[in-house]
A and B are shown apart, each in its own frame.
Chain A
Amino acid sequence: MPSPWFDVPFLFCRLRIVASYTVRKNTMPSYDSLTTRDVEVAVSGAFRLQAAHGLQPYFRNEQVSLRVRGRTRGEFVLIERDTKVTKGATAKFAGTTTAGLVTLTLHPDDKNEAQMELPSGQGFTLPIKSHVWETLSYPGGTRTTRGTVDDEFSIGDFLTLTFPEKPGEVRLDKAKALTGFFPECETEGGVRLTGLLRLTADIPAFHLADDTLDANPIPHCRVRVLCPDGVEREYESDDAGDIFIPRADKGVYTLVEVLHDRAPQSAAVPGAWSVDVIPDMA
């Protein structure tokens, strides 16, 4: 089916997956038990998708790595008469996942649906250490075993989203996730996806976001940048918090300062700084 999306060579994608929830429930209703899961994880990625159109508009990048930061805690307690068994695991982790494949397939028909896939088992893993414990309490005493086990945090999902007939930005926060991104995670209400697919010729030089788990983009924030020609220039972030600067092949651009002469940025101070490497794909 003809579609102007066949003319789009690149998409710039920024996505963020946040899981933040606490669940306490009896998962074994016929027993006196309690399962607790406390999860706070943020996964973010910024990458380009290159056109590889076939019968459908199709984009892909097989070298996408995602940045991960989070903590999880799970515990299961079972009480049977005068015996109590507690098993638990907790982990705190931060890092970058192994590279994986991201694909986007558009179906330009009545529904204008697209599928974005981050296939499970093909990258997007991060080795982590989990601290585990098991306690058995019984009338004769209490026995506790503790240890550390090698574990793996992995991400993957199959998203369905709607795209406009005419090429334009696509927000990801309305996308429907099939499996919930993380193994065994609660999908209802606990995990949210935000982000944007942008049709930009280049990648942004800078991105401004707040320091929350959701990393909300900060629009209309003015910054001063030292350009390779030695001149400092002012730029302002767009609605998505991005600052695009036409950049030469060589040279370094330095974000000198955020200008605080105007609210609400006057009430902000710089925090963490990170760099995403997004290689040319042409």
Chain B
Amino acid sequence: MPNLDALLKDTMLLTAAPGAPFQEFGGDAGDAGTSEAASPSVGARWTWTHDLSNAGRVTNLTYDLQDTPWYAAQTVTVLDELVWHPIELVHRGMPMTLELSKEFLLRKYEASRGSINEEPFRYWIPASIDESMMLVFGFQVNLRGPAGAITLEPIPRDVLAWDDFMPPANPPTPPKPPVMKVKRTETGTLRLTPLRVLVCAEFVCCTERNDYTPGNMARTSRFRPHLMLMSNRPLDKMAAKISIRRPAMTTMAHQMPEPSPGEPPHDPHAPHDHHGAHAMSTPTRGLAYDQDEMVHEMATGMWSDSNTAAVYWRKIANVTFPPLWSSIFSRVSTDLPAGTSFLMASPDLKGGDGFNTNIWSGHEYRTEQQQLMNRQGYFDNIHVAPPMRAPKSIRDFVKNSPLYKLDTIAMAPFCIHDCLHMHWRWLPAEEKWLWGWDETGPYKAQGEPHIPVNQHLRVELESTHAFAYCVRADTGLEAGHWQYILHEGLAYGNTADKEWLAKFMLGGMQFLDNWPSAAKTSWAMFYWFIRYWHLNGVVRERLLEDGAPVLPPYP
């Protein structure tokens, strides 16, 4: 029979840092923290700001990138803001809205170091944490509220210490209810227990690791802004929404190129032209003004993994047969507009025969039906990043052929700069940490979504640089069980796991031999090639973008 302290041991923050200090709020705990102004919380690499007066919001998340062969050490803005929206619940047919506000805040934990080791491997995979926090909110129905209405109040502090604050996850057979009899000289008192809901909003920032992609190919830094929700009574329905908002323009700076002949020198302190592009440095020498560039504006793309692509992930560094989009993905949509919305996972979606994909054969598009996993939805991941632009000599090389689309090149399956990744499903990979949920928890079902099995996930684009992660559930909302929302977390891409391998791979790309020499050192052209086929001025997507018209065969 757990009290609050026992329950919170299940959280990621207190798994990594069991003795993390906390501030107490709410109920009769006084006004602790009332005067606290929003101030940055600074860790070794991550920095963010949280203001108690706007408790459901974290702003200005930045990350200190280290020096790589592709960009200099710098601090980039990963998110403008993250918003935990009110959680909607229905209990016995009565709707209620849980506002994650200071009024209902019970505790705020902070920790900047701690780690989760290999074992146990139940809800949290190994991680070392950087600057992190956890907000604990408590809601209960005010039984003294007006008749016919549901009003909420904070859970009183004394209740939190009770051993039966929440029911056990596997309750024993309930005792027979007492017979409530009174004689004339007696008064019987019946205590009623209101519906109580505990919500933990964790914002756990992690240090860099190489376990976000199959084959440990990339180094990323995860952050885990998930919600955990538990009630003392079964719920009919639950809906939660988390907005993840990147800046409209990338804040990443690349080494400014040498001016091209005839151009004035660059002023590194001059304001950016936000409609232009940054030049990127490359790992090998070349004309400094003829380098990869990065568009300022963010763009959002979504991809689905091919369920037979595991073998291609193993060959991702293969310079002869690199991983083409047609072999590694089953569905793609780049540069999605605001308002786009897809169902990404659902218990209603059964595996088996799925959608058709148009794959370019070298002569024509052929239709292939995809085999889907259980609960697999429209896309598997979202990437918010500024697209790349091919070096100038290459754009000039094909400037009369706009079909080449060398001005906005999407990065996938890994990203070389300023990319926020979120994968709610991976292909059936070998690594267990890429497996999805089954009825018993995460990391159990190969190739299935990283979403609890009772949840429906919809992802909505709020803009070209922001999206909302929306889940709902109408089953499996049992008392005394945690409901995890956005358990899979997100990751900011830093660099290749083995930079020497990435350099080697870029330098050895034979498939770019027929392009100007800048292509041999161009990540943009690497990404372009694995997406596009071309011959004699005819360009085709190897995997036809979702919804795009099927173009005619090669003449």
Query: Do the beta carbons of A208 and B187 come within 8 Å of each other?
Result: no
Query: Do the beta carbons of A253 and B181 come within 8 Å of each other?
Result: yes
Task: Give B172-200 as 1s and 0s: 1 = Cβ < 8 Å from A's Cβ atoms.
Answer: 00000111111111111111111100000
Q: Inside 8 A of A279's CB, which chain B residues have their CB?
A: 185
Query: Do the beta carbons of B190 and A212 come within 8 Å of each other?
Result: no
Query: Do the beta carbons of A264 and B143 come within 8 Å of each other?
Result: yes
How far, in whole Å, are A276 and B187 apart by their CA atoms in the complex? 5
Question: In the assembled complex, how far is the CB of residue B3 from the closest CB belonging to chain A, in whole angstroms?
Answer: 12
How far, in whole Å, are A216 and B27 apart by their CA atoms in the complex? 14
Is A250 part of the binding interface, using a Cβ–Cβ cutoff of 8 Å? yes
Question: In the assembled complex, how far is the CB of residue B291 from the closest CB belonging to chain A, in whole angstroms?
Answer: 62
How far, in whole Å, are A254 and B194 apart by their CA atoms in the complex? 22
- The residue that A203 contacts in the complex, of B151, B187, B194, B195, with Cβ under 8 A, is B187
How far, in whole Å, are A13 and B143 apart by their CA atoms in the complex? 22
Query: Do the beta carbons of B195 and A249 come within 8 Å of each other?
Result: no
- Stretch from A2-10, A107-115, A265-273 at the B interface: A265-273
Is A40 part of the binding interface, using a Cβ–Cβ cutoff of 8 Å? yes
Q: Inside 8 A of A46's CB, which chain B residues have their CB?
A: 187, 189
Query: Do the beta carbons of B182 and A267 come within 8 Å of each other?
Result: no
Is B44 part of the binding interface, using a Cβ–Cβ cutoff of 8 Å? no
Q: Inside 8 A of A203's CB, which chain B residues have their CB?
A: 185-187
Query: Do the beta carbons of B182 and A268 come within 8 Å of each other?
Result: no
Task: Give B72-104 as 1s and 0s: 1 = Cβ < 8 Å from A's Cβ atoms.
Answer: 000000000000000000011110000000000
Query: Do the beta carbons of B182 and A253 come within 8 Å of each other?
Result: yes
Q: Inside 8 A of B182's CB, which chain A residues have their CB?
A: 205-206, 252-253, 255, 275
Is B233 part of the binding interface, using a Cβ–Cβ cutoff of 8 Å? yes
Question: In the assembled complex, how far is the CB of residue A280 from the closest CB belonging to chain B, in whole angstroms?
Answer: 6
Task: Give A184-199 as 1s and 0s: 1 = Cβ < 8 Å from B's Cβ atoms.
Answer: 0000000000000000
How far, in whole Å, are A20 and B158 apart by their CA atoms in the complex? 7
Q: Size class of B's contact patch?
A: 35 or more
Query: Do the beta carbons of B184 and A248 come within 8 Å of each other?
Result: yes
Question: In the assembled complex, how far is the CB of residue A176 from the closest CB belonging to chain B, in whole angstroms?
Answer: 19
Q: Interface on chain B toward A: helix, strand, loop, or mixed SS?
A: loop
Query: Do the beta carbons of A205 and B143 come within 8 Å of each other?
Result: no
Q: Inside 8 A of B311's CB, which chain A residues have their CB?
A: none
Query: Do the beta carbons of A267 and B158 come within 8 Å of each other?
Result: no
Within 8 A of A (CB), among B34-83: none
How far, in whole Å, are A264 and B151 apart by their CA atoms in the complex? 8
Query: Do the beta carbons of B185 and A268 come within 8 Å of each other?
Result: no
- The residue that B143 contacts in the complex, of A40, A207, A265, A274, with Cβ under 8 A, is A265
- The residue that B192 contacts in the complex, of A20, A254, A258, A262, with Cβ under 8 A, is A258
How far, in whole Å, are A271 and B183 apart by their CA atoms in the complex? 21
With A254-B179, A264-B151, A267-B143 given, is the CB distance from A274 to B188 under 8 Å? yes
Query: Do the beta carbons of B158 and A218 come within 8 Å of each other?
Result: no
The winner among B182, B188, B189, B194 for most chain A CB atoms within 10 A is B189
With A207-B190, A217-B144, A258-B190 given, is the CB distance from A280 to B149 under 8 Å? no
Chain A residue nearest in CB terms to B141: A267
Is A263 part of the binding interface, using a Cβ–Cβ cutoff of 8 Å? yes
Is B147 part of the binding interface, using a Cβ–Cβ cutoff of 8 Å? yes
Is B261 part of the binding interface, using a Cβ–Cβ cutoff of 8 Å? no
Query: Do the beta carbons of B149 and A263 come within 8 Å of each other?
Result: yes
Within 8 A of A (CB), among B400-445: none
Task: Give A26-70 as 1s and 0s: 1 = Cβ < 8 Å from B's Cβ atoms.
Answer: 000000000000001000001000000000000000000000000
Q: Inside 8 A of A221's CB, which chain B residues have their CB?
A: 143, 192
Query: Do the beta carbons of A267 and B195 come within 8 Å of each other?
Result: yes
Query: Do the beta carbons of B178 and A273 come within 8 Å of each other?
Result: yes
Query: Do the beta carbons of A247 and B184 come within 8 Å of each other?
Result: yes
Is A1 part of the binding interface, using a Cβ–Cβ cutoff of 8 Å? no
Q: Inside 8 A of B158's CB, which chain A residues have their CB?
A: 20, 40, 212-213
Task: Give A75-116 as 1s and 0s: 1 = Cβ < 8 Å from B's Cβ atoms.
Answer: 000000000000000000000000000000000000000000
Is B145 part of the binding interface, using a Cβ–Cβ cutoff of 8 Å? yes
The winner among B147, B151, B188 for most chain A CB atoms within 10 A is B188
Is B157 part of the binding interface, using a Cβ–Cβ cutoff of 8 Å? yes
- The residue that A206 contacts in the complex, of B144, B177, B189, B193, with Cβ under 8 A, is B189
Q: Inside 8 A of B185's CB, which chain A residues have their CB?
A: 203, 277-280
Is A260 part of the binding interface, using a Cβ–Cβ cutoff of 8 Å? yes
Query: Do the beta carbons of A20 and B157 come within 8 Å of each other?
Result: yes
Question: In the assembled complex, how far is the CB of residue B187 from the closest CB belonging to chain A, in whole angstroms?
Answer: 5
Within 8 A of A (CB), among B139-157: 141-145, 147-151, 156-157
Query: Do the beta carbons of B186 and A255 come within 8 Å of each other?
Result: no
Chain A residue nearest in CB terms to B24: A22
The 5 closest A-B pairs by CB, nearest first: A255-B180, A267-B141, A267-B195, A213-B158, A268-B192
A-B contact pairs, 24 of them (CB 8 A): A20-B157, A203-B186, A204-B187, A206-B189, A209-B190, A209-B191, A213-B159, A214-B156, A215-B191, A216-B144, A218-B143, A248-B184, A252-B183, A253-B182, A262-B147, A264-B145, A264-B151, A267-B92, A267-B94, A267-B143, A270-B177, A271-B193, A274-B189, A275-B189
Q: A212-B158, A252-B183 are in contact. List 6 more A-B contacts (CB 8 A).
A: A211-B193, A218-B144, A263-B147, A268-B192, A273-B191, A276-B188
